[in-house]
Amino acid sequence: MGDGQIAAARCTHPTRTRDLLASLILIGWPSLALSGATWVQVAPEGGGFSVEMPGTPKPTPSRPGRLSVSVGESSFLVSPDALDGALAGAFQSGDRKARERILERLRDGTVQGMKAALGASQTTELQGTPSILFTFTGESDGKAFEGTERIVLTADRMFVLVALGEKGSLKKEDVDRFLGSFRLVAAPPGAPGEFRTVTYRDAVCQRLPAVPVTFSLPADYVSRSVGKSVEAGCLWGTKEDLDRVTAVPDEGDFSALKRGVFRARVSTNIVCSAKTGTFDAMDGSGEAGIRAQLEASGASLVTWKKETLGGLPALQIVADLGPSGRVYMLYLGNTGFSSNTLLVNYYQPKKRTADDDALWARFVSGIRRAASP
């Protein structure tokens, strides 16, 4: 995504904050004290988020999902907007630097559009998705104002949160409560937009060096690192399933899952040759040896496929192990760490169905090369 596209994309964003500033001036900075407000948690249907706000927010009919509250000399705004094609494309590329540039341009568009001065700024992550948090100050119609804004990008939406008020009116604890309470709420399983793009670093819970590939995972899956070593890896699943798996952290109980769990970790017994892309069980027998070991253990192979995924050598194995059920394994090579191999497993629900094969196939086919790590 070029800088020109980013610049064009940012033009629609500053109006959200300018509208809020204009409304504050119009209503003359209302007199109700913030300390007397009752905080409520809101999660508009289909909005994709939940947040705490100091009072009952008012929806904006012309902008579905947009909520605002004015209390005392301060106002709070949440505005979800669909990503346009250019922004969505940059997000889905998995290019971390491009995402940061987008966020910085959006930030600069807000500050410049309001003729304000930028204060502190920090690029962060929220629930594994890109975000930027910044402050600004300025003056309008003889009134000095100050604000704090957070922009959050997801695969299909941009969320803008603003706390804005007359200078000196915003209390840090109120701003922190508002911004800190914001949570992304995924669409229910089976809804449009069910899958989202996840970078390699996010997929491994930031525990391994970056590799320029992205994965596609169910939108309501969250991540959780396990153990204290990189070999323990990173789990992806619903919160309920992850709670089951990690109830006894040292054991990892995958026996009672409802939706299934993915696990990404460094392989400890399979290595990949950086020159040939061949996988080996550290005995020199190569991929034929891996297959022979599986068959000797009584496994009935369903899928055995050597291919290239996202520019990386890959070995996909699906096998039935009798009463133990079906195992799903994917080895990705040339990851540049330890064994040079990442192992991804999918642990099926207690009651396996054809949907599990479909989910695994969707995951494998969704691996893409990224522009940069």
One domain for residues 249 and 169:
no
How would you classify the pairing of strands 222-225 and 234-237? antiparallel
One domain for residues 324 and 179:
no
Taking alpha carbons only, the member of 23, 292, 368 closest to residue 165 is 23
Taking alpha carbons only, the member of 329, 349, 361 closest to residue 237 is 349
DSSP class of residue 209?
-
Evaluate whether residue 344 is within a structural domain. Answer: yes
Check residue 235 and give its pLDDT: 93
DSSP structure string for 255-296: TT-SS-EEEEEE-SS-EE-TTT--EE-SSS-HHHHHHHHHHH
Per-residue pLDDT tens over the stretch 61-104: 666 678 888 887 788 999 888 776 566 666 655 667 778 888 99
One domain for residues 71 and 146:
yes
Evaluate whether residue 232 is within a structural domain. Answer: yes
One domain for residues 204 and 154:
no
Judged by DSSP in three states, 328 sits in strand
Residues 6 or more apart from 356 whose CB is under 8 A from it? 260, 326, 328, 346, 348, 349
Per the structure, the complete domain to which residue 78 belongs is given by 3-184
Check residue 30 and give its pLDDT: 37
Check residue 309 and give its pLDDT: 95
Q: How far apart are CA 315 and CA 312, in angstroms?
A: 10
One domain for residues 155 and 234:
no
Containing 28, the helix (H) or strand (E) segment is none
Per-residue pLDDT tens over the stretch 154-187: 877 889 999 999 888 888 999 999 999 998 875 5
Evaluate whether residue 265 is within a structural domain. Answer: yes
Evaluate whether residue 243 is within a structural domain. Answer: yes
One domain for residues 178 and 200:
no
Residues 6 or more apart from 281 whose CB is under 8 A from it? 269, 270, 289, 290, 293
Tell me if the pTM is above 0.75: no
Query: Integer distance in angstroms from the first to the last C-alpha of the chain?
Result: 15
What's the CATH number where 25 sits?
3.40.1000.10
One domain for residues 135 and 261:
no
Q: How far apart are CA 47 and CA 185, in angstroms?
A: 8
Final residue belonging to a domain, choices 184, 205, 226: 184
Check residue 251 and give its pLDDT: 67
Evaluate whether residue 249 is within a structural domain. Answer: yes
One domain for residues 44 and 145:
yes
Q: Which two tokens stand for residue 162?
A: 């603003």
Q: What is the pLDDT along the chain (373 residues), one digit of tens a residue?
A: 233 322 333 334 444 454 445 444 433 433 333 445 688 888 887 778 888 999 888 777 666 678 888 887 788 999 888 776 566 666 655 667 778 888 999 999 989 988 899 999 999 888 777 899 999 999 988 889 999 999 998 877 889 999 999 888 888 999 999 999 998 875 544 443 478 888 998 899 888 999 999 999 988 888 888 877 778 889 999 889 999 888 876 667 888 899 999 999 999 999 999 999 999 999 999 999 999 999 998 899 999 999 999 999 999 999 998 777 899 999 999 999 999 999 999 999 988 888 889 899 989 998 999 877 7
Query: Hey, what long-range contacts does 113-116 have (CB within 8 A, 24 or more apart)?
Result: 113/14, 113/15, 113/17, 113/18, 114/14, 114/17, 114/18, 114/21, 114/138, 114/140, 116/145, 116/147
One domain for residues 175 and 215:
no
CB contact at 8 A, 262 and 344 = yes
Check residue 330 and give its pLDDT: 98
Evaluate whether residue 190 is within a structural domain. Answer: no
Check residue 254 and give its pLDDT: 87
Evaluate whether residue 189 is within a structural domain. Answer: no
One domain for residues 173 and 227:
no
Domain tally for the chain?
2
Q: How far apart are CA 153 and CA 106, in angstroms?
A: 11
CB contact at 8 A, 199 and 96 = yes
One domain for residues 165 and 249:
no
CB contact at 8 A, 164 and 74 = yes
One domain for residues 180 and 260:
no
CB contact at 8 A, 66 and 77 = yes
Final residue belonging to a domain, choices 160, 184, 208: 184
Final residue belonging to a domain, choices 135, 158, 184: 184
- Alpha-carbon torsion angle 305, 242, 353, 287, nearest 10: 20
Evaluate whether residue 327 is within a structural domain. Answer: yes
